[in-house]
Structure 1
Amino acid sequence: MLSLADIEAARDRVDEVARTTPLEYSHSFSRMTGADVRLKLENFQRTGSFKIRGAANRIATLSEAEKAAGVITASAGNHAQGVALAATRAGVDAKIVMPEHAPIAKVDATESYGGEVILFGADYNDAQARAHEIEELEDRTYVHAFDDEYVMAGQGTLGLEIAEQCPDADTVVVPIGGGGLISGVVTALKATLDDVRVIGVQAEGASSVARSLEKGERHELDAVDTIADGIATRSVGERPWEIIRERVDEVVTVSDNEIALALTYLLERSKTLVEGAGAVALAAVLSEAFAYEEDETIVPALCGGNIDLNDLTTVVVRGLVQMGRYVKIRTELKDNPGSLERLVEIIAEHNANIYGIQHDRTSRDVAMNAAEVVLDLETHGHDHVDELLAALEARGYETETLV
């Protein structure tokens, strides 16, 4: 099983490619939770993710014959970039199979680092099956995203950094997809810090480890569905599974809404951009998915920052909804002059800002002498939304909250 010595050996190889990322105290999140929250900003890593650590370690251990034949891997995006950069720096040809709907930003970045991208399948598991076919056909070395001891050891160097930067850490919170990161991090932390607790976090729509722990054996999901595409795997790796069962203290899940809220708070409060998978650790802290004490020192690992800008808008809007800062409502008006003006006056009286209005007198869902109105509103919190809706109801408007 993976050891501290393996991770320390990996560090010498990884340091040539990866950088040491900051660990910073967060006033905002400490105030919000009552804990001592310190963010491990791995989203500032080269390629925007921790994945460069494991990829660099694995490629550094290839034989000359393996380097000449090239490497192949499958990835939802972050591992792809890590392999592409590490391989290019080592002079090794790399092919990467990514799901057909992988974020455009991650596909473009992988190609910019020198990797040849092949788009295939609906998710990571489909892409992996195709990558293994290419492995056999072209005699390439498969660089697994998580189920490889060299990759796990490389990811474990993140744990060494946390131990050095925050030796008084009580709890470290780590995302779980295939399990390579947490297996390396927990091994490093348990061997270097006394009484540290390691919490794993999954998205509810990709909770393979949580399900496996419930069943007492490794379980594969039929499908995954989450905004945290970086951890959207149907199953945990065999090697990480054994380490997680033995060394990780607890595994919890968070919803996509909780992930979106954490991501939005990070943007607004910490001026820090992460992807969905990079926000799950903080989401677990903010949602109190696990129990912690006041003033407990908690380190959420923000493991990636490679979010597609098209997805960012959707996620931020969802986060604002969770904060009560944005609401979309539908109502009906009599199709008379001045009806819309009177509705807008009520909204203005209650200090809500109108982003947009859709006024439709041809909708089949309303009477012939009525019009449907949909309003996008900026609000100041859940109490403000409740106050506004109550005021509209008191004036005779029936409203439906759409988001």
Structure 2
Amino acid sequence: MTAAPHRPTLDEIAEARGRIAPHVARTPLVRLDLGLSDRQIFLKLETLSPIGAFKLRPALNAVLSRDPAALRGGVAVTSSGNMAYGMAWAARLIGVPMVAYMYRGAPQTKIEGVRDLGGEVRFVSAETWWDYIVCADRPDAPELLINPVTDQAVLSGNGSIGMEIVEDLPDVDVVLTPYGGGSMTTGVASAIKTGSRPARVFAVEDDSAAPVCAALEAGRIVMIETRPSFIKSIGAPSLVPQLWPVARELIDGAIAVSPAEVTDAMRLLFRKAKIVAEGAGAASLAAAIARPDLKGNIVCVISGGNIDAVAYSVVLGGGIPAA
């Protein structure tokens, strides 16, 4: 069974930030002017990472914090796309083999990104993919399997996003983060909540698969029915049980948004700021727009922009891509 992580400390996050700094530039926090009198919306643009998504931070920290001897056989990760992309980049940096366990139906641009960096993609069923994350159980293989959700170095690497937000906007009131496995939300919130004026942090989900909302309503982790959606990087039939107790203590709630609201946000990002965001990447902005009760300085983490060209053309044309 996958080991349970702890909330990363500010020292751990600072160490991670210093470790990855030579390879990952600080991403900008920019204001999106929507003419709102009671709130200001800011965008944390992780789309400007070398891989077009925030996952390079946790992948690099997970690799660079390891004993090199443990990496001689290579590294492996279970991912819907962006973590695999980040791990392939990190593996190439240190010169070791890399394997990504992905399910069929992952965005082609992410699959190609892994392969272009020299990584190997092994397709598994959705059930096996989930088991690898929750149970860390897979056939014997030489690569070091790094859990994309519960690995402590992954959480600390993600915390660097929150640290930058607090430095750039000390009077932040609300932070909205897309919630997939939960490692970004947990890492970001760990940094945000250590400030002298801790902001509220909300997990944002696709309403086609919203296990955080369901767990908060039920008071426990539950299995939910999911619907097909073009938004691939967030949403699952349940939560990773090892991480949930940590995440639950850090978040102030969850917001579920529809694919229609997400595509509206994607078009808004392109029209107002010329930013290309994938579905999960735009979910935080969709939540900010859907919840006018959230006031003050609101930061939306735009987590990634790796979307297939055909799907994005559908969005720009006013539609919702096929699941």
Structure 2 distance, partners of 1:120, 1:154, is 27
CA-to-partner distance for each residue in 1:224-248, whole Å, 9 max, x for gaps? 5322211133333234311221111
**1:303 to partner: Cα distance:** 0.5
1:114 alignment counterpart: 118
Alignment of 1:191-340 (within 5 A): 191-223=194-226, 225-288=228-291, 291-293=293-295, 296-318=296-318
In the superposition, the TM-score normalised over structure 2's length comes to 0.90
Question: CA contact under 8 A between 1:267 and 1:273: conserved in structure 2?
Answer: yes
Cα 1:183/1:75, change in 2 over 3 Å = same
Give RMSD over aligned pairs.
2.1
- State, as a whole percentage, how many aligned pairs show the same letter: 31
Cα 1:93/1:222, change in 2 over 3 Å = farther
2:30 counterpart SS class: strand
**1:9 to partner: Cα distance:** 1.5
Question: CA contact under 8 A between 2:110 and 2:306: conserved in structure 1?
Answer: yes
Question: CA contact under 8 A between 2:203 and 2:255: conserved in structure 1?
Answer: yes
Q: Which amino acid aligns with 2:165?
A: I
Question: CA contact under 8 A between 1:58 and 1:143: conserved in structure 2?
Answer: yes
**1:316 to partner: Cα distance:** 2.9
2:17 alignment counterpart: 11
Question: CA contact under 8 A between 1:47 and 1:81: conserved in structure 2?
Answer: yes
The list of structure 1 runs, each at least 4 consecutive aligned residues, that deviate by more than 6 angstroms after superposition, is 130-134
Cα 1:90/1:233, change in 2 over 3 Å = farther
**1:62 to partner: Cα distance:** 2.1
**1:119 to partner: Cα distance:** 2.3
Cα 1:99/1:32, change in 2 over 3 Å = farther
Cα 1:309/1:248, change in 2 over 3 Å = same
CA-to-partner distance for each residue in 1:52-77, whole Å, 9 max, x for gaps? 11111111122233211211111111
1:62 alignment counterpart: 66
Alignment of 1:141-160 (within 5 A): 141-160=144-163
In the superposition, the TM-score normalised over structure 1's length comes to 0.73
**1:133 to partner: Cα distance:** 8.7
Q: Which runs of 5+ in 1 are unaligned?
A: 321-403
Q: Which residue of 88, 91, 108 maps to 1:87? A: 91
1:8 counterpart SS class: helix
2:3 alignment counterpart: none
Q: Which amino acid aligns with 2:85?
A: Q
**1:309 to partner: Cα distance:** 0.8
Structure 2 distance, partners of 1:61, 1:6, is 11
Q: Which 10-residue stretch deviates more, 5-14 or 214-223?
A: 214-223
Higher percent of residues as helix: 1
Structure 1 distance, partners of 2:262, 2:268, is 10
Structure 2 distance, partners of 1:153, 1:236, is 20
2:317 counterpart SS class: helix
Do structure 1's residue 42 and structure 2's residue 67 form an aligned pair? no
Q: Which amino acid aligns with 2:301?
A: A
**1:26 to partner: Cα distance:** 1.4
Question: CA contact under 8 A between 2:192 and 2:198: conserved in structure 1?
Answer: no
Question: CA contact under 8 A between 2:211 and 2:235: conserved in structure 1?
Answer: no
- State the structure with bigger RCO (CA 8 A, min sep 6), 1 or 2: 2
Structure 2 distance, partners of 1:276, 1:33, is 27
Do structure 1's residue 76 and structure 2's residue 80 form an aligned pair? yes
Cα 1:119/1:199, change in 2 over 3 Å = same
**1:113 to partner: Cα distance:** 1.7
Do structure 1's residue 126 and structure 2's residue 128 form an aligned pair? yes
